[in-house]
Amino acid sequence: MTQTPIHLLLVEDNPGDVRLVHEMLVDDKHQRFVLHVADRLEAAMSIMKEQDLTVILLDLQLPDGSGLDTLLKIHAIAPEIPVVVLSSIGDEALAISAVQHGAQDFLVKNHISAHLLTRALQYAIERKRLEDRLHYFAHHDSLTGLANRKHLYDRLKNAMAWSRRNESQIALLLMDLNGFKPINDIFGHHVGDQLLCQVAERLRECVRETDFIARMGGDEFVLILHDVRGVDDVMAVTQKLLGFMESPYTVHDRMLHVHVSVGISIYPNDADGMEDLLRNADIAMYQAKTESGALSASRFYSPTMNIEAGESSGMRGQLFRALENEEFLVNYQPQVDIASGRIIGMEALLRWQHPQRGVLLPGQFMHALEGSDLILAVGEWVLDEVCKQGRAWQQENAEPLVLSVNLASRQLLQHNFADVVATALEKSGLPPQLLELEVPESALTDNEDRALVVLNRLHQLGVRLALDNFGSGRASFRYLCKFPFDSIKLDRSMIEDASSSAEGANFARAVIQVAHVFKMKGLAEGIETAEQLSLLRGMSCDDAQGYLYSRPLVPADASALLRRGGTVDALLARET
């Protein structure tokens, strides 16, 4: 018998059912349960405040509460405690609704045994632990442990609302490391990563507990200072920050000196909205960098700093001309069935053949593209190109090949998107089951109801649907229950964590198992080493893609690869 007992709160007003549950739990020879009983919702809430509970077994029909409202009230008080609903009726709609509203499982009283009950409780505890871990990964940067970009947006939105209610000010500081790229290039990414971790630790030391720190990505960090009284308050923190950052760093026996640029914007003085506040801090940071060269400096935002607006407008004009002049192109990265070594798909990746700057990757233009309606026109062009290419490959090759297309949130949520997809399929003749659309979680969180309607329509068309970058954002297991996904893509950061720690490996394994429970395939992206592939094979991961197999290929090279057999052996032969 395990040494750690499970503290179970049974919320049930029927003495016979209480006695039955008690007898079932007593019979368990492998796990000891400590049973706490409440016959009213009010009594349950008191116990929840007093006891360190492991799991709750909840009857939805109580004298002082009924239906899902009972579950919602329990969940509101202790969202961290897993809940299993125990019902006297086997209502499938109620069961699904309970799970969607936070329950881990739904049991019917007349259809349970001691084994089923204890297993359901233990599975609920494990699922909740996994969800909590996923929530942590969704809100924190895997390298530094700081909040990530999505967590920053949530916190900044709340901070601005609090500021409005209390008629106070908040300061947003955007900090960038000067000359970070040469450190990576000269000493290697392992040195750069350790430097970023030390920078994060110093940031923690120089702000109040009430303030907030996040890593935006790369070498950019953001601080939110709450309830500032004026410029002098912010300047004092900024000077302290610059002093902390300028002290030498020792990384892998190397002493490194780092300078930083800090841009500051104040809410509500400098902006009314979150995006404007961030953009203005970015403009000020750019000004600090250009004025001080490589030295550390800070600048407060001023309306005269209009550089960003001009550059953004210029970029949108170039993108419009790029579409008109057919400067966009699509490359394809093979996706491989891990067990057989067969190429089973290709991910379509957008590139821009810029007339002056050469081939540009999405990171160099996608932000501007997604910030305008032009993303809809470019997205439609990509769908047409990919479907035509997929049809050509289908006619040339006996093996079916699924082509995956990344979607932007604005594409999925446009009113006629399903019609756009249907038209691309009809024009090309590509069977719908050979097209996979990779859905960003932002599309689900931006407008969940609209996303559900569109995804169900696409599912009815026969198109495959993948939840993209699972583990990098706020995606939860609720999405896997609610939306008709066929597969999930494990984010590159999750694979890196799995390779570097036992905890990360356990988490990745659990996510793959969850995918299989929901009858979905798991595809790991960003595979770069044989060790990562071996790890994923041991986890029964279905498919993989990454530089270990192949870089993205122009269509002609991808076609040649498929003609050579469409296997890992063909990939290796191409490399040699």
**Residues with Cβ < 8 Å from 377, sequence gap 6 or more?**
323
As its CATH architecture, domain 149-305 has: 2-Layer Sandwich (3.30)
> Would you give the distance in Å from CA 530 to the centre of its chain?
25
H or E stretch including 11?
strand 6-11
CA dist 41 and 62 (Å) reads 7
**Residues with Cβ < 8 Å from 263, sequence gap 6 or more?**
173, 174, 280, 281, 282, 283, 284, 285, 286, 287, 288, 298, 299, 301
Output the furthest CA–CA distance in the chain (Å, rounded): 79
Alpha helix stretches (DSSP H) within 333-373? 366-370
Encode the chain (576 residues) as per-residue pLDDT tens digits. Answer: 446 899 999 999 999 999 999 989 887 778 889 999 999 999 999 999 899 999 999 998 899 888 888 899 998 888 889 999 988 887 778 878 888 888 888 999 888 888 899 998 989 888 888 888 887 888 889 899 999 998 999 999 999 999 999 889 999 999 999 878 778 877 888 899 999 999 999 999 988 888 999 999 889 999 999 988 888 889 989 999 998 898 889 998 888 888 899 999 999 999 988 989 999 999 899 888 877 766 788 999 988 775 444 455 567 778 888 988 899 999 999 999 999 999 999 999 999 998 888 898 887 788 778 777 788 899 999 999 999 999 999 998 868 899 999 998 889 888 789 999 999 999 999 999 999 999 987 778 767 788 899 999 999 999 999 998 775 544 566 778 889 999 999 888 888 888 888 888 988 898 899 889 889 999 999 898 999 999 999 999 999 999 999 999 999 999 999 988 777 665 655 554
Cis previous bond, 362, omega within 30? no
* Token output for 348: 């379509």
According to the CATH classification, is domain 6-139 in 3.40.50.2000? Answer: no
Instruction: Please name the amino acid found at residue 372.
Output: S
User: CA separation (Å) from 417 to 13, 253, 414?
Assistant: 50, 55, 6
Give the DSSP letter string of 408-429: -HHHHHSTTHHHHHHHHHHHHT
CA dist 514 and 494 (Å) reads 15
Specify the domain boundaries for CATH 3.30.70.270 within the chain: 149-305
Specify the domain boundaries for CATH 3.20.20.450 within the chain: 331-350+374-575
List b or e across 194-208, with b for residues whose CB sees 16 or more CB atoms inside 10 angstroms: bbbeebbeebeebbe
Instruction: Please name the amino acid found at residue 288.
Output: A
Specify the domain boundaries for CATH 3.40.50.2300 within the chain: 6-139
CATH of range 331-350+374-575; options 3.40.50.2000, 3.40.50.80, 3.10.20.310, 3.20.20.450: 3.20.20.450
CA dist 334 and 482 (Å) reads 29
| Local structure of 37: helix, strand or coil | strand
**Residues with Cβ < 8 Å from 293, sequence gap 6 or more?**
none
- Is-contact 212 173, C-beta < 8 A? no
CA dist 485 and 520 (Å) reads 7
- Is-contact 505 524, C-beta < 8 A? no
User: CA separation (Å) from 355 to 326, 358, 497?
Assistant: 11, 6, 39
Sheet strands (E) in 257-376? 259-267, 297-300, 328-337, 343-354, 358-360
Name residue, tokens 């953004």.
Answer: 312
CA nearest neighbour of 383 among 342, 344, 436, 345: 436
| β-bridge partners, 35 | 8
Q: Are strands 358-360 and 402-406 parallel, antiparallel or unpaired?
A: unpaired
